[in-house]
Amino acid sequence: MLPLNDYLQTEELDLVQRFGERAAHSYDRDGKTWALPDRSGPMVLYYNKDLLDKDGVAYPTVDWKWPDFLAAAEKLTVRMGDRTMRYGCAAGDWWPWWMSFMLQNGGRIRGDAGKPVINSQQHVKAMQFYVDLVRKHHVASSKKDYEALKISSPDQLFAQGNAPMIMTGFWNIASLKQAPQIRWGNSPLFKNVKQATISFQSGLAITKSSKRPELAFKVLDFLTGVEGQRPIATSGQDAPANREVQDSEEFLHPSWAISDVDMSAFRQSAEFAYTPPMTPEWGSMQKGFGTIIGEICDGTVQPADGLAAAQRSLEGLGK
């Protein structure tokens, strides 16, 4: 890819003004900018308004903390004897879910020297809270529960009305368009010691082989500007990266929505969204902790032992 710094300087493009402090330099490495943010959809908390109203649970807000989330999940869980008829929330071993809890507890994924950091007291406590949602409090579904229900994701569980709260991204809206009976809302994720969520982004770049890179940059400039980003908001494709479009009524109260929804959770979450490190080792890092984290979530390995093992598998990665 081609570094964009010279073009940014020539066009006097202020990335912070356009994308916000968090997203502006998501694609920076070694002092150079390699891409401009296009989509920027952080993970938020979706909730079923009808089920929360029925059980007398207040709608989630940005001020919720872990105990608030747990109390709501407990109240929303419905059991009949030993059988769970409805889970208060959904969980799983996908990395954005448990990693959000780690970040909310003050954890970090890479240390000052750029080395992966997965084993810390903050992370152990976060994983214990997360696992307890399934194993101790029985308010969240396990992998076996998904298999028994013959579904593969929390999004499906939510669309069926079998989980009133789920942590997921903008893509969930597509499934909700197929479930008009669900009256839903969304909120920024809760916090513990700090606010945090995972952001899913895409960036637009220029290849080194481009014969007209100056014109290619003009395309990038347009596509990440207000006019270029507006169709993302008006069509319900994703959360746009451009802050002005994020703040527009076209995105916050979209005409495509089946019911009255407020999309401001995505805009609020952009202020504390974490983007995974842009590093060639990211795929190896995921493999390094993936299997072990799955065992922790399944309850076959204790968080402290599992994260210590995951850390050993990550040695040698990073700078």
User: pLDDT tens digits, residue range 94-153?
Assistant: 899 999 999 999 999 888 777 888 999 999 999 999 999 999 999 998 877 877 777 777
C-alpha distances in Å from residue 120, one per residue of 105, 110, 145, 306, 308? 11, 11, 30, 11, 8
Q: Give the per-residue pLDDT at 318.
A: 60
Q: Does residue 112 sit in the same domain as residue 228?
A: no
Question: Is 319 part of any domain?
Answer: no
Q: Does residue 148 sit in the same domain as residue 247?
A: no
Q: Does residue 134 sit in the same domain as residue 209?
A: no
Q: Give the per-residue pLDDT at 142.
A: 81
Q: Does residue 205 sit in the same domain as residue 246?
A: yes
Average pLDDT over every residue of 274-295 = 82
Question: Over 70: is that where the pLDDT of 59 sits?
Answer: yes
- Paired with 33 in beta bridges are 28
Q: Write the pLDDT tens digit of every residue in 222-241.
A: 999 999 999 999 988 899 99
Could you tell me the pTM of the whole model?
Answer: 0.91
Pairing state of beta strands 140-141 and 89-90?
Answer: parallel
Question: 263-266 contacts: CB < 8 A, separation 24 or more?
Answer: 263/186, 263/239, 265/44, 265/45, 265/186, 265/187, 265/188, 266/41, 266/42, 266/44, 266/170, 266/186, 266/239
> Residue 266 belongs to what H/E stretch?
helix 264-269
Q: Does residue 79 sit in the same domain as residue 37?
A: no
Question: Over 80: is that where the pLDDT of 258 sits?
Answer: no
Question: Over 70: is that where the pLDDT of 319 sits?
Answer: no
Q: Does residue 51 sit in the same domain as residue 193?
A: yes
Bigger pLDDT: 188 vs 294: 188
Question: Over 80: is that where the pLDDT of 16 sits?
Answer: yes
Task: Tally the domains of the chain.
Answer: 2
Q: Give the per-residue pLDDT at 219.
A: 97
Average pLDDT over every residue of 251-269 = 85
Q: Write the pLDDT tens digit of every residue in 172-218.
A: 887 787 778 889 999 999 999 999 999 988 999 999 999 999 999 99
Bigger pLDDT: 278 vs 24: 24
Q: Give the per-residue pLDDT at 152.
A: 74
pLDDT band at 44 (very low <50, low <70, confident <90, very high): very high
Domain that holds residue 212: 5-41+201-265
Find out whether 143 and 93 touch, Cβ atoms under 8 Å. yes
Question: Is 270 part of any domain?
Answer: no
Q: Does residue 152 sit in the same domain as residue 212?
A: no
Cα-only R_g, the chain: 21
Q: Write the pLDDT tens digit of every residue in 23-33.
A: 898 899 889 99
The encoded tokens of residue 287 equal: 């493999």
Q: Does residue 48 sit in the same domain as residue 116?
A: yes
Q: Does residue 24 sit in the same domain as residue 92?
A: no
> Residue 240 is part of a domain; what is its CATH number?
3.40.190.10
Q: Does residue 123 sit in the same domain as residue 92?
A: yes
Q: Does residue 209 sit in the same domain as residue 150?
A: no
Q: Is 202 helix (H, G, I), strand (E, B) or coil?
A: strand
Q: Can you tell me the distance from the alpha carbon of 302 to that of 132, in angstroms, rounded to the nearest whole number?
A: 11
Question: Is 215 part of any domain?
Answer: yes
Residue where one domain finishes, among candidates 240, 265, 290 = 265
Question: Is 15 part of any domain?
Answer: yes
The encoded tokens of residue 100 equal: 């959000």
Residue 190's identity, in one-letter code, is: F
- Paired with 273 in beta bridges are 197
Average pLDDT over every residue of 18-43 = 91
Q: Does residue 192 sit in the same domain as residue 104?
A: yes
Average pLDDT over every residue of 142-171 = 85
Question: Is 271 part of any domain?
Answer: no
CB atoms under 10 Å from CB of 260, counted, come to 9
Q: Give the per-residue pLDDT at 2.
A: 97
Residue where one domain finishes, among candidates 225, 242, 265 = 265
